[in-house]
């Protein structure tokens, strides 16, 4: 099995390599791909050095699988080239997500939609993945009418430059001596601004959560999102308000979530047990807590969920899609 990781030197790409190792994915030949400035660098995988190569060289090797985390403009050009070479592409950018000819997949929720002909498969937005892992099991039993979600997103979702900006601000480095990933300082601050603003006042990140929920789970669900960047690392957090069509009990909600794949319930506020980014870092589950009824609605529920955005929000979900292709007999069958 030849596996290419496109964007191998980035935050998500490096996590993809970690997850491939941890989950013992069958990689016989690794093809790490990065931008021109990184070609020739060596990265370590399973204790051995591997030279970073160009995308063109990787395509010539005809990999079976390519995991992409190199941005939408790169995926737009390169994903079709890898697919044309007979490769299955799992793309972490937003470029293919809303393409009606491409599947948008969270394996625990809609993995059954994958077919042998799906050569380019889209990995959803990190915030969408963690929210849907938490609410999809509840939707199946109680039928969600409406979701109101506010996110508290880690700076790691922006990449290395954001981490470097916050570290520089915390050191007290002089402005102008470091690169600004954001239009304002992020340390000791909160930015209600992720991705670009649209004419209606929402951001593209907020629209992603709406559109991706409709494509993955149910187009009938009304979704209102506010996405916020906070000076934290480790994972994204979300405050989620649900309105159900059917009556429910909080006890039954806890039962469902306790048994849900990919969910860890941390819900004992009397003993200060609740999800926090510091607990999710380096782990693959979505942690759910602060479960309580919303008494302003006939069937309303509030919950809080946290997940490592670089892992289940990106790298782990991509590798799980690849595992599903393997399980279905599509990958490595030729």
- Residue-wise pLDDT for 235-278, tens only, equals 999 999 999 999 999 999 999 999 999 999 999 999 999 999 99
Question: 223, 206 in Cβ contact below 8 A?
Answer: no
CATH 3.30.360.10 maps onto the chain at: 127-309
Cα 98 from Cα 84, distance rounded (Å): 21
Q: Is the pLDDT of residue 334 over 70?
A: no
Stretch 117-124: mean pLDDT, rounded?
98
Place of tokens 């306790």: 258
Q: Give the chain's mean pLDDT.
A: 97
Active-site hit among 50, 87, 139, 236? 236
Neighbours of 102 (CB within 10 A): 19
Residue 4, C-beta contacts closer than 8 angstroms, at least 6 positions apart: 30, 31, 32, 33, 58, 61, 63, 65, 66, 67, 82, 87
With vertex at residue 155, the alpha carbon angle to CA 154 and CA 158, rounded to the nearest 5 degrees, is 120
Average pLDDT over residues 42-55: 96
Q: Where in the chain is the domain with CATH 3.40.50.720?
A: 2-123+314-327
pLDDT tens-digit series, residues 161-194 = 999 999 999 999 999 999 999 999 999 999 999 9
- The CA distance from 81 to 54, in Å, is 13
Q: Which of 50, 87, 126, 305 is catalytic?
A: 126
User: Is beta strand 300-307 parallel, antiparallel or unpaired with respect to 286-294?
Assistant: antiparallel
Please say whether the beta carbons of 58 and 33 come within 8 A.
yes
202-220 pLDDT per residue, tens: 999 999 999 999 999 999 9
Q: How far apart are CA 104 and CA 121, in angstroms?
A: 6
The answer regarding whether domain 127-309 maps to CATH 2.40.30.170 reads no
d(C-alpha 181, C-alpha 163), whole Å: 9
- The fold of the 2-123+314-327 domain, in CATH, is Rossmann fold (3.40.50)
**Residue 262: which region, alpha, beta or left (left: phi > 0; alpha: psi -120 to 50)?**
left
User: Which pLDDT belongs to residue 333?
Assistant: 54
Give the sign of the dihedral formed by CA 35, CA 85, CA 28, CA 76: positive
Residue 332's pLDDT is what? 74
Is 318's pLDDT higher than 90? yes
Q: pLDDT tens digits for 3-48?
A: 999 999 999 999 999 999 999 999 999 999 999 899 999 999 999 9
What distance in Å separates the CA atoms of residue 19 and residue 22, rounded to the nearest whole number? 5
87 labelled catalytic: no
Mean pLDDT value of segment 147-156: 98
Query: Does the annotation mark 305 as catalytic?
Result: no
């Amino acid at each position: 099995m030849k596996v290419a990781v496109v964007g191998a030197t980035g935050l998500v790409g490096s996590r993809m390599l970690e997850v491939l190792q941890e989950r013992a994915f069958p990689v016989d030949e690794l093809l790490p791909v990065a931008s021109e400035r990184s070609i020739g660098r060596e990265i370590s995988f399973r204790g051995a050095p591997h030279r970073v190569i160009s995308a063109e060289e990787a395509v010539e090797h005809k990999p079976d699988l390519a995991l992409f985390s190199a941005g939408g403009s790169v995926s737009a050009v390169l994903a079709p080239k890898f697919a044309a070479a007979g490769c299955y592409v799992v793309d972490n950018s937003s470029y293919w997500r809303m393409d009606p000819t491409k599947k948008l997949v969270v394996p625990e929720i809609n993995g059954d939609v994958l077919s042998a002909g799906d050569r380019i498969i889209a990995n959803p937005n990190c915030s969408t993945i963690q929210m849907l892992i938490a609410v999809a099991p509840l939707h199946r039993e109680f039928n969600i009418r409406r979701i109101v979600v506010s996110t508290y997103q880690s700076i790691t979702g922006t990449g290395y430059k954001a981490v470097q900006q916050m570290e520089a601000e915390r050191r007290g480095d002089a402005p102008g001596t470091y690169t600004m990933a954001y239009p304002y300082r992020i340390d000791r601050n909160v930015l209600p601004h992720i991705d670009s603003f649209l004419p209606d006042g929402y951001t593209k990140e907020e629209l992603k959560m709406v559109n991706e929920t409709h494509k993955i789970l149910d187009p009938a669900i009304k979704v209102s999102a506010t996405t916020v960047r906070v000076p934290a690392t480790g994972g994204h957090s979300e405050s989620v308000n649900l309105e159900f069509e059917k009556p429910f009990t909080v006890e039954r909600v806890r039962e469902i979530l306790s048994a849900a794949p990919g969910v860890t319930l941390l819900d004992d506020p009397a003993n200060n047990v609740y999800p926090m980014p510091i607990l999710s870092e380096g782990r693959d589950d979505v942690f759910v807590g602060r479960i309580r009824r919303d008494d302003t609605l006939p069937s309303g529920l509030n919950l809080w969920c946290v997940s490592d955005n670089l892992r289940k929000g990106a790298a782990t979900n991509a590798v799980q899609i690849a595992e599903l292709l393997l399980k279905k007999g599509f990958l490595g069958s030729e």
